[in-house]
Amino acid sequence: MSHPHPELGAPPALKEGALRITPLGGLGEIGRNMTVLEYGGRILIVDCGVLFPEDEQPGVDLILPDFSYIRDRLDKIDGIILTHGHEDHIGAVPYLLRENPDIPLIGSKLTLALIEAKLAEHRIHPYVLEVVEGDRERIGPFDCQFIAVNHSIPDALAVAVRTPAGMVVATGDFKMDQLPLDGRLTDLPAFAKLAEEGIDLLLVDSTNAEVPGFIPHERDISAALRNVFANADKRIIVASFASHVHRIQQVLDAAHEYKRKVAFVGRSMVRNMGIARELGYLKVPGNLLVDVKTLDDLPDKEVVLICTGSQGEPMAALSRMANRDHQIRIVEGDTVVLASSLIPGNENAVYRVINGLTRWGAKVVHKGNAKVHVSGHASAGELLYFFNICKPKNLMPVHGEWRHLRAAADLGIATGIPRNRVVIAEDGVCVDLEKGVARIVGKVRAGYVYVDGSSVGDITEASLKDRRILGEEGFISVFVVVDSTNGKMVSGPTIQARGSGIEDGAFTSIAGKLEEALTRSAGEGVLEVRQVQQLVRRIIGKWVADNYRRRPMILPVVVEV
């Protein structure tokens, strides 16, 4: 089993006849999926998604892959294959197409419709190539075949990419539900045919590799939802991903059965479900949908709201309801259903929302206390079957944290894949496929790129560290006026604290010590403003640490007169 090393250097030039695979996101994390394939001087990209921020990234809206590896070669990109329409696979496309709007997008009907609606908001109208399972398209030097896979969104595809260097199969996100709501199975016979031809490298979804057995059927949720509807006396509020068409369909069916009206809440939910309905993926019984503005005219027992916010996103509808910051007010007796999984890293945010909803009297139904969600990713039992069908010569787990990648690697080895043919990589690691062998050859930059409002890439790790300090420890401002000729303090210090838990009056005892230190340093020839600022920061910082055991941000302002 090969693995990256922190001291990996830049990769060498790609050898003629070799294929290079470089993940720029999705390895060691859940989200931000993006893989770059290079052959003969041309580039093919599989997926281009976003990662959602965690608590230690305050103020950040989205996290993008780092495009710097391909930025000077955007004209060499023959296309972006989008395996399905979830944000962690398509969300970063607008940001890449801002830099080159001529890059073609390839995907299924629903996937392209979702990304085109998103791109329209950015005023980008790309060339798109719609494909269906079984299609085979030549995209530059890449011969691409598309295979149906079952996931938690319709129209998901895997892709087999053939080059003279060998065949690479990227599963995208998939599972092997044998009773899918739409009847669209993961096409195992197609994978078996690829195996007969010879899969040189398999990039496999690893998200559920630690979960034993098999994932329950999506349709098993219907009974749990009907139970919720049967026992709810007031409004039912369902939170789900804005692209989870299958789950929304089940909610609509239950609402129709129990004679409730449904309103979609939230811009992305309204947009995506409108697209799914228009394309025929969402079947809506007549007169079931109503506008959210008309809900006050209906009895609570006849109302269902479907909104976003199942991951505790602070600006999503459900979080705002929990915080009493939304036009829809949670009241005693409401039932809230979180119909999604808990993405690693979002636990605190989700439980914060659950507590907020419970505080206002809502009954919260979630995966922990009812069967209202099944995963969209293959578990260990399914992966074992899949590996035995595909028989890959080389395996590279993707789409998961380190524990998921290693679990998937162990499953592959258990099915007979040689240990030295299993590659565990991380974002930015370059893997070359040459003469039937995949091996790590170097590493490129693949860090986080933060979106903060209209700012893209301006926020650095240092900025986030400052934000965390400000949020956790507060800040202290120190205003001092010094004589420019002798460096002695002529006014101040004026000291104010915000968010540090220290009263302004407490600084009286340190003011005299600060003046003595400035006078002493001036006598030693310390006259530059920058040096004086450092001295002020050091003295105040030590005093606060010694007396309060806190480390607030200290902002010294030194003015010369």
User: Cα torsion at 98, 101, 106, 108 (round to 10°)?
Assistant: 70
State phi, psi for 365 to the nearest 5 degrees.
-105, 125
Handedness of CA 311, 87, 304, 179 (dihedral sign): negative
Task: Give CA–CA dist 443/403, Å, rounded.
Answer: 21
CA–CA distance, 12 with 10 (Å, rounded to integer)? 7
What region does 464 belong to: left with phi over 0, alpha with psi -120 to 50, or beta? Answer: alpha
Tokens of residue 248, six digits: 């929304």
Q: Can the peptide bond before residue 12 be classed as cis, meaning omega within 30 degrees of 0?
A: no
Annotated binding residues for substrate, as ranges?
373-377
Number of Cβ within 10 Å of residue 368's Cβ equals: 12
Number of other residues whose CB lies within 10 A of the CB of residue 483? 14
| H-helix segments, 487-554 | 508-523, 529-548
Q: Round to whole Å and give the CA distance between 341 and 419.
A: 32
Binding residues: 373-377
Q: What Cα–Cα distance (Å) separates residue 245 from each residue in 168, 272, 274, 279, 282?
A: 29, 9, 11, 12, 7
Which of these, 159, 247, 200, lies nearest to 19 by C-alpha position? 200
Asked if residue 476 lies in contact with residue 544, where contact means CB atoms within 8 angstroms, the answer is yes
Between 188-197 and 380-390, two packed helices, what is the crossing angle to 10 degrees?
A: 40
Across the beta sheet with 363-365, what order do the strands follow?
261-265, 303-307, 236-239, 335-338, 363-365
Name the token pair of 35: 């893989």
Angle between helices 402-414 and 380-390 (to 10 degrees): 50
Strands 553-560 and 475-482: parallel
Integer Cα distance of 309 and 319 in angstroms: 6
The beta strands (E) that lie in 449-510 are given as: 449-452, 455-456, 475-482, 489-498
Q: Which residue has the tokens 């789900």?
A: 240
* Rounded Cα–Cα distance for residues 31 and 163 (Å): 27
Which residue in the block uniquely carries the two structure tokens 């910051």? 325
Q: At what angle do helices 109-121 and 267-278 cross, to 10 degrees?
A: 140
Q: Tokens 């007031």 identify what position? A: 234
